Every structure is written in structure tokens, then in C-alpha cells.
């Protein structure tokens, strides 16, 4: 029988022992919502989780770079001096490969006059050349006294250094074949280009260079040739015989 004294509505229970209140510590029984954490185990699990996330991120970055290299951008190395003073031997370039898909709505999606393009050498597809596009498919091109004339208009080539262009041979008038391009090196005293082996088939061009990332002193976007004085449409002037075309 429980002993107690009741005064009014208040009941004092003297027979039931109560647990002493503990101060300075937390026990699991204090509250059902308290979560017991094992720091060492949680630390290991957190480290594993972060490691897996890091591996995932690295994998995604590698995949993105592979896709960029396959479809969009490719690094190339300049060999030789045929593009002086614009490009030097040993420099590293980034090449835009979107020109292969001929996206006409944007300039970087197709080939234009003045572009520096990278292509397989027509006489030996195991080699790659880098040159500047001078004449487009269907245009008339000739060289007279070192002056390049397209569609009857002399090109104004501000990117050239006269010191590298002293002995240009003449080239008779000819029309660039469809799906071909006429290309020249900027160092025309020392360049193996369309003057020697003819036009570049469009299918051999795999990109145009747009950015130099090495050497550090010359990092930046490449200079694109501008020809404000020339119409891109073929000239109606007389064309050479088909037998004279390359």
C-alpha cells in the first residue's frame, strides 16, 4: 500500500523512489530523438563517400575531354617555319574541328578565307600541314609578281612580313575546284603549299587553328586574315581550260 499525504488535489507520494537526475552527461535513454554517433565509423564512411565522389568527378572530366577531343577541339604542334611570322616552330595550337560539320550559320563552323587550317597533306596523308586559306571553291586565283589576285582583285595581306616574301614565282590564272581550297604559307619563301602540289580537298581539312596555348609569351587567339576589298563571289572573267586545272 502506497503511503502518501493528500492535501486538496495535491498528492505527495512518499513510497515511490525516483531516479536521481544526472548532470554533465547525455545518455541514450534521455530522449528517443537523440542519435548516438560513433565518430570513428562515421569518419571512415564520410571519407569513402568523398573518395567515390572525387572518382566520379574525375571520370566525368575525362569523358568530357575525350568528347571535346573527338568532336570539337584538338591540340596540334607546329613543325617548321612555313607560317612565320604568325606561327613558330614548336608552338602548340588548339584546332576547332567543327568546320568538318560545315555549320554555315556561325563563322567557326565553316571555312573562310584567311583561316589557318590544319589538313592531311594530299600527296602523303600520313603528314599534316598548317596553312592559310587564300581562295575558296569556284574562285579564280593567280599570282603575278608576288601579288596574290583572287577574282581579279589583289589581296591585301597585312599579316605577311616582306622579309619572308621576296622570291614568289608567278602562278597562271586557274579556278579552284569545287570542294577544294587554295592555301599558302605566310612564309612564302619557304612554304610547300598549293603553288607546288595544287588544291586541298575539303575532306582532308580536319580543323582550323584558333588559339595558341604554348609558348607562354605568345598565348592568345590567332590573327584571322581580313580582306575588305574582295568579293567572295567568283569573277565572271574568262576561266582557264579544264585541262589546265589542277
Residues 6+ apart with CB under 8 A from 187: 81, 82, 83, 84, 85, 161, 164, 165
Q: What is the pLDDT of residues 101-141, one digit of tens each?
A: 777 666 677 899 999 999 999 999 889 999 999 999 999 99
Catalytic residue at 82? Answer: yes
- Fold type of domain 68-244: Umud Fragment, subunit A (2.10.109)
Q: For residues 142-147, give the mean pLDDT.
A: 89
Q: pLDDT at residue 61 above 90? A: no
Distance CA(86)–CA(58), nearest Å, equals: 36
Q: What is the pLDDT of residues 157-177, one digit of tens each?
A: 889 998 888 877 789 999 999
Q: pLDDT at residue 5 above 70? A: no
Catalytic residue among 97, 131, 191, 208: 131
Residue 235 near residue 140, CB atoms below 8 Å: yes
Domain limits, the chain: 68-244
Residues 6+ apart with CB under 8 A from 217: none
pLDDT at 180: 97
pLDDT at 237: 44
Structure confidence at residue 186 as a pLDDT band (50, 70, 90): very high
Catalytic residue at 102? Answer: no
pLDDT at 41: 67
Catalytic residue among 9, 16, 17, 82: 82
Amino acid at each position: 500500500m502506497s503511503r502518501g499525504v493528500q492535501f486538496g488535489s495535491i498528492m505527495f507520494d512518499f513510497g515511490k523512489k525516483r531516479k536521481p537526475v544526472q548532470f554533465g552527461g547525455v545518455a541514450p535513454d534521455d530522449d528517443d530523438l537523440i542519435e548516438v554517433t560513433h565518430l570513428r565509423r562515421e569518419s571512415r564512411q564520410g571519407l569513402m563517400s568523398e573518395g567515390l565522389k572525387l572518382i566520379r568527378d574525375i571520370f566525368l572530366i575525362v569523358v568530357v575531354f575525350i568528347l571535346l577531343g573527338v568532336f570539337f577541339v584538338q591540340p596540334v604542334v607546329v613543325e617548321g617555319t612555313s607560317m612565320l611570322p604568325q606561327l613558330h616552330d614548336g608552338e602548340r595550337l588548339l584546332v576547332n574541328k567543327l568546320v568538318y560539320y560545315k555549320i554555315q550559320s556561325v563563322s567557326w563552323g565553316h571555312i573562310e578565307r584567311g583561316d589557318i587550317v590544319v589538313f592531311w597533306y594530299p600527296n602523303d596523308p600520313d603528314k599534316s600541314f598548317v596553312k592559310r586559306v587564300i581562295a575558296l571553291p569556284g574562285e579564280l586565283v593567280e599570282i603575278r609578281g608576288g601579288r596574290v589576285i583572287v577574282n581579279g582583285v589583289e589581296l591585301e595581306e597585312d599579316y605577311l612580313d616582306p622579309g619572308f616574301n621576296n622570291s614568289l614565282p608567278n602562278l597562271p590564272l586557274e579556278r579552284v575546284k569545287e570542294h577544294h581550297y587554295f592555301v599558302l604559307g605566310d612564309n612564302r619563301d619557304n612554304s610547300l603549299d598549293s603553288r607546288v602540289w595544287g588544291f586541298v580537298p575539303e575532306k582532308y581539312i580536319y580543323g582550323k587553328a584558333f588559339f595558341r596555348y604554348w609558348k607562354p609569351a605568345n598565348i592568345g587567339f590567332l590573327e584571322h586574315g581580313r580582306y575588305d576589298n574582295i568579293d567572295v563571289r567568283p569573277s565572271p572573267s574568262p576561266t582557264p581550260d579544264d585541262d589546265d586545272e589542277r
